[in-house]
Amino acid sequence: MRVFIVKDYEELSVQAAQIVAGQIYVKPNSVLGLATGSTPLLMYHHLIRIYKEYGLDFSEVTTFNLDEYVGLPEADKNSYHYYMNDNFFRHVNLDQKKIHLPDGMAASVDAECLAYEKAIQNCGGIDLQVLGIGQNGHIGFNEPDEKFEAYTHEVKLKQDTIEANARFFADISEVPTRAISMGIKTIMQAKKVVLLANGSNKAEAVYRAVCEGITPEIPASILQLHQDVIVIIEEGAAQYL
Ligand code: GLP
């Protein structure tokens, strides 16, 4: 793991955007693994800026998002489809056909998980995976567990995750209780990983993921075994390091 502590959210976001931009510059047909949540928002903003100011070309890029809620249609403002379209996709020249998110409305969630995993493999795997981290150490929606779940799967969300994500919904009762998420192996097979952590509410999860033992109780801790991980941590999130 290469760990960088940066002074604020802006610096974290610029650094992350530059890593993504560099990846696309070197390999225009890169396969990107993308994350949602509040952490990568400003990174997307800077990627859009780089696209507009420097003509970064997304036309050959393929994207796979980490996860999606089960039961939210694409048009729902809280779906990750909506988030990605609103905050990133519609602002750059990505090819719609090369954009992938799990379908949270699929008739069979199991079949959707299998198909999603296969689609990633068919594209040759992920070149660069961007990750945030949950307060409980989750990555994607891989919640703390007794074992690491390997491939794309259906997740029952933990109460603390539901509470953490309730801020985006009118009422906590509206937060979906299930999601589809890439698995730990799916993420670990990415050639390069960038993990972003912002805010003091992430400090404990960051400490446990980076400094303590590898355990499925802190899913992000598995990244210690990955050969090419950059961790960018804003000072507040790095306070226990
Ligand atoms: C959600 C997402 C994760 C994200 C996490 C942290 O649960 N499934 O991919 O990393 O929340 O979100 P935030 O960046 O808003 O703190």
Give the pLDDT confidence score for residue 7 in this predicted structure: 97
Give the pLDDT confidence score for residue 207 in this predicted structure: 98
Asked about 112 being catalytic, the answer comes back as: no
Among 103, 127, 143, 149, the one annotated catalytic: 143
Give the pLDDT confidence score for residue 73 in this predicted structure: 95
Which ligand 1 atom sits closest to the C-alpha of 141?
A: 8
Q: Which domains does the chain have, with CATH numbers?
A: 2-197 (3.40.50.1360)
**DSSP label at 233?**
E
Q: Over 49-117, what HEC string results?
A: HHHHHHCCCCCCCEEEECEEECCCCCCCCCCHHHHHHHHCHHHCCCCHHHEECCCCCCCCHHHHHHHHH
Q: Which of 9, 12, 36, 196 should be mutated for ligand 1, with most atoms under 8 A from CB?
A: 36
Cα-Cα-Cα-Cα torsion 200, 202, 204, 207, nearest 10 degrees, comes to -110
> Does 37 sit in the ligand 1 pocket, CB within 6 Å?
yes
Instruction: Collect the ranges in the chain with pLDDT lower than 70.
Output: none
> Does 13 sit in the ligand 1 pocket, CB within 6 Å?
no
> Does 62 sit in the ligand 1 pocket, CB within 6 Å?
no
Give the pLDDT confidence score for residue 236 in this predicted structure: 98
Question: Which tokens hold the place of 240?
Answer: 């226990």
- Give tens-digit pLDDT for 129-154: 999 999 999 999 999 999 998 999 99
Q: Are 32 and 23 in contact (CB under 8 A)?
A: yes
CA of 114 to the centre of ligand 1 (A): 23
CA of 132 to the centre of ligand 1 (A): 6
